[in-house]
Structure 1
Amino acid sequence: MPLTSAHNENANRSLQHHPAGRRLAVLLVKVLVAAVILLASWYVSQHASLETLRTTIAASGALSAWVYLACWIVLPAFLFPVPVLALAGGALFGVVKGTLLTLVGALLNAAFMYALARFVAKDFVTRLVRKHVSTSLQKRLLTTNQWQLGSVFFVMRLIPLVSYNMANYVAGITNIRFWVHMLETFLGIIPGTVIFLNMGDKLYQPGSTEFWIAIALLAVLIIVPLIIARAFFGEVVHERKHHNSNA
């Protein structure tokens, strides 16, 4: 025990006297994690597809639900398009079971990406937001007001054309609290999850009444949230256009 205590004390003293070394080690880890994300994102974009995903998960047999959950936790971090995941889930598990699995997987992924963004690139992404995002939206994203932040991300979740992946990463660099982030994610993704899962369930029934209903619901999912977003972010869009016209 005395030897161990002395060793730990010496190690702690050494770290205290080398803050530059600690900062360098942290920086190297961040760079490594960022590089892995970028390379994996490129690989996923080149090789992943709906049919490949569906076939791979189906081949897992009794473990297919667990494999699907694992895909949800990991793949969105590498910018894999989540609508493809949802379509695969609908095709494999149906609407009810697929929705439950998807909601669990999406929430676990949201927590993972939130933590990843805070660890890897908070300062860097904050600078990008200040540079490239309109002042009105900056105020909403960089505020400490939890109701305002939750509302912004909730509306973003409703819009299928807004990247779920990037919303997770951006949330990680804002002041939104973890449980607020999880709540807005859960509530915001429910409509899209159910409709995309239903579309996946009917995907292999082309021409059927159910298929066309699924298409109609998908159209509603795209159009209605855009109207809501226009009302919610109206001044942001106007300001951005004004800024671009003056540039």
Structure 2
Amino acid sequence: MPKSADVCSGDKTSRSGSAVKAMILVGIVAAGILAFRFTPLSEYLKPERLEAFFASISIFWWAPLVYIGIYVGGTLVAAPGLLLTILGGLTFGTVNGTIYVFIGANLGANLTFGLARKLGRDYVARKIKGRIDTLDRLIRNQGLLRVLQLRLIPIVPFNLLNYAFGLSGVRYIHYLLGTLFGMIPGIFVYVYAAAALAQLYFSGSGVQNESAVTAARQAALTNAGISMGLLIVVSLAPYFYRKISKHSSGVEEE
């Protein structure tokens, strides 16, 4: 009898502990969102303010470090990742912008995942037990594929997905690899598009020769068109993958 009481007491303590950790997680995220959206700090997240800030520091060697730090912080408080990605392309160009966004996005994604897993997973696992266990097991067993698929869909909110995966049963190694490789196409496309639009906007500035201006704008339009085409391809990749997978499964069954 005492043993049974001890077990019940331990289970209650465990449940209470997981609930407290989940509340801490919600508090951290809510505080970050409220601070950056409903206080004077929200002014610093306005696109024009961020663009002006990055433009003013882009000549300094430490500018990429500041950008990466802001990207990581923005990821933790669920700031719009697309905005920060586009600003990276506008500020640093296609190659450097892609590198800096890739570093910032991966650091932020892994920190967010770790925070959600450490503070919220136990609570979520208890709540979903017996309800959507099948879905949780599917995510756990096919984690790499699921993470890759969702990372390739541009309309899925990047930062919210980080928290969702942390709360799910997906293995960390699958999340790490799926995020690492799944983000590359989207990051490159958005950074390339931003750099192309910047090139289009500034094309011909300071050039007096009309033919040179026309050539510069034509090149910028070409790059912008390529970036849009790449964006469409990346967006449709998961759809075609599912189609191919279903077709392959049907052939094997026959």
Shared topology, TM-score over 0.5? yes
Partner of 1:116: 115
Q: Distance in 2 between matches of 1:125 and 1:23?
A: 11
The residue number in structure 2 matching 1:200 is: 194
Alignment correspondent of 1:77: 76
Alignment of 1:157-236 (within 5 A): 157-204=151-198, 205=200, 208-228=221-241
Q: 2:33 aligns with which of 22, 38, 41?
A: 41
**Offset at 1:136?**
6.3
- Describe how 1:132-151 pairs up with structure 2 within 5 A: 137-141=135-139, 143=140, 145=141, 148-151=142-145
> 8 Å contact 1:60–1:67 — kept in the other structure?
no
Query: What whole-Å deviation, never above 9, does each CA across 1:20-60 have from its counterpart, x for those lacking one?
Result: 99997886565344223113224435632333222223333
- Aligned 8 A contact 1:89 1:197 in 2: yes
SS at match of 1:159: coil
The separation in 2 between residues aligned to 1:131 and 1:73, in whole angstroms, is 35
Instruction: Give the Cα–Cα distance (whole angstroms) in 1 for the partners of residues 35 and 244 of structure 2.
Output: 38
CA distance in 2, matches of 1:40, 1:223: 33
Asked if 1:54 is matched to 2:51, the reply is yes
Residues 18 and 122, structure 2, Cα contact 8 Å, conserved in 1 = no
Higher deviation after alignment, 64-73 or 31-40: 31-40
Matches of 1:45 and 1:177, distance apart in 2: 32
Aligned equivalents of 2:155 and 2:129: distance in 1? 22
Shift in CA distance, 136/34, structure 1 to aligned 2, threshold 3 Å:
closer
Letter aligned with residue 57 of structure 1: F
For normalisation by structure 2, the TM-score amounts to 0.69
TM-superposed CA distance for 1:157, in Å, is 0.7
Q: Please say if residues 50 and 84 of structure 1, whose CA atoms lie closer than 8 Å, have aligned partners that are also in contact.
A: yes
Please, what TM-score do these two structures have when normalized by structure 1?
A: 0.71
| Unmatched runs of 5 consecutive residues or more in structure 1 | 1-19, 234-247
Aligned-pair CA distance for 1:91: 0.6
Gaps of 5+ in 2: 1-11, 202-216, 247-254
Q: Size of the alignment, in residue pairs?
A: 212
Q: Which amino acid aligns with 2:53?
A: T
Shift of 1:124: 4.0
Deviation of the 1:98 alpha carbon: 1.1
The 1:149–1:29 alpha-carbon spacing in structure 2 relative to 1, beyond 3 Å, is: closer
Specify whether residues 36 and 176 from structure 1 end up closer, same or farther in structure 2 by C-alpha distance, changes over 3 A only: closer
